[in-house]
Chain A
Amino acid sequence: EAGVAQSPRYKIIEKRQSVAFWCNPISGHATLYWYQQILGQGPKLLIQFQNNGVVDDSQLPKDRFSAERLKGVDSTLKIQPAKLEDSAVYLCASSPRRGMPYNEQFFGPGTRLTVL
């Protein structure tokens, strides 16, 4: 079974620039998550999608972050404009709907963002 795919793997930008990350979840997984992991900390949930609807975006800084999941499959996370404190690894994860809340989440390799 193919895992969660993310691109790019690394990105370096200057502050105030914009950046976008892409995620393709495991086939058939209804739930998709974006996490932010700052160095030395655990992942923090930014947004959770169920199919193409948002379930939880309470920790998403909506003034600069946006995310969408068109057609309930792929998803993109955008930051505009980026700040220095956005430097982190952005992780995408997916899980099947059946069996919630006892489902493990499957994580992609992440995108390491450096904002200069």
Chain B
Amino acid sequence: SQQGEEDPQALSIQEGENATMNCSYKTSINNLQWYRQNSGRGLVHLILIRSNEREKHSGRLRVTLDTSKKSSSLLITASRAADTASYFCATVPSILTGGGNKLTFGTGTQLKVEL
């Protein structure tokens, strides 16, 4: 079953604009990860945020996590055509709900960045 739901399902922007994707999940987590998937490079890990962190940055990526609302957002600043891909959030359960390193993926946001 899918743990997370991404919103929006699809997003189309112009190069240079910012793109924001949201993810909601259902159970307690140890950490939340974002992955990108395109036909050229397959599924690639972008960033991981732990349950005790609220915000994390990596290059043009900014991730926030609100565990009280069970939600996360991914912001891509100054987008490029090469950012065109599907973006998935994935959660790792807390020890209280099973633990381990099992990833449960959301449904994904399709981002298209146009020139």
Q: Which residues of A contact B (CB under 8 A)?
A: 31, 33, 41-45, 48, 55-56, 91, 93, 95, 100-110
Contact = CB atoms under 8 A, between A and B. Distances in A.
Contacts of B104: 45
A103 B101 contact: yes
B64 to A, nearest CB: 18
B92 interface: yes
A104 B43 contact: no
Interface in B11-43: 30-31, 33, 42-43
Contact of A101 (B2, B31, B105): B31
Contact of B101 (A91, A100, A106, A108): A100
Given A102-B48, A104-B33, A107-B42, A41 B101 contact: no
A91 B35 CA distance: 14
